[in-house]
Amino acid sequence: MLTENTTILCPVSSRAEPMEIDLKSILLAEIRQDEVATVTPGKSPELLAAFNRSWRELHALYTQLTVEKNNAVKLVEQRRALLILEEVPKLLDAKGLKSNDANREAVIILDEEFQRRQDVADQIEAVLEYIKGKMKSFDNAFSSVKKILGGSGEYSQYRNEHLSGTTETPVKSGFGKPKY
């Protein structure tokens, strides 16, 4: 995983060149997470939408990278199988070594193609963990805004008396005795 400013270059097994992941919009939305500390009822719907939009974008990326990781793991396992069935016996015989778990594993670990494939799978896994952390951050920010505003789904200026600047809760039409 190579990060350049707002871009991650993630190797993938499906093509020679790495996948370029632009996180500029995500990073801008992450800065907005600081607004949770000063959220107002008027600003909350837009802030919730921004957090949700970023989470959806990250989730789509996470899904795409999960497919890439699964493909990379399959390629690692295919290389391992090929080595065990064809290459390991030849190499162990040529070196006069016994065929046991330690020797077979040593041959597999020293194989350059196996290492390359494993590195791709590991780097994809690292990017997935990075993305998962960002998704959790947006989920936490979204939940925090909802909790601050009462969490019932009604994000109006009347929902939380402490945030609206008044201690009186306005009566909604059709409920209770009107205050004049």
**pLDDT tens digits for 1-10?**
556 678 999 9
Structure tokens that stand for 165 in this block: 């600047």
Question: Strands 19-22 and 7-10: what pairing?
Answer: antiparallel
Output the CA torsion 81→84→87→90 (10° steps). -160
Strand, coil or helix: 154: coil
- Structure token digits, residue 87: 């290459």
pLDDT of residue 15: 83
Task: State which residues of the chain have pLDDT below 50.
Answer: 153-167, 171
- Give the pLDDT of residue 164: 44
Q: What is the DSSP letter of 34?
A: G
Question: Whole-model pTM?
Answer: 0.77
DSSP label at residue 134: H
- What is the pLDDT at residue 4? 63
pLDDT of residue 83: 95
Which residues, at least 6 apart from 127, have a Cβ–Cβ distance to it below 8 Å? Answer: 1, 8, 10, 21, 65
| Model pLDDT, residue 176 | 61
Instruction: State residue 5's pLDDT score.
Output: 77
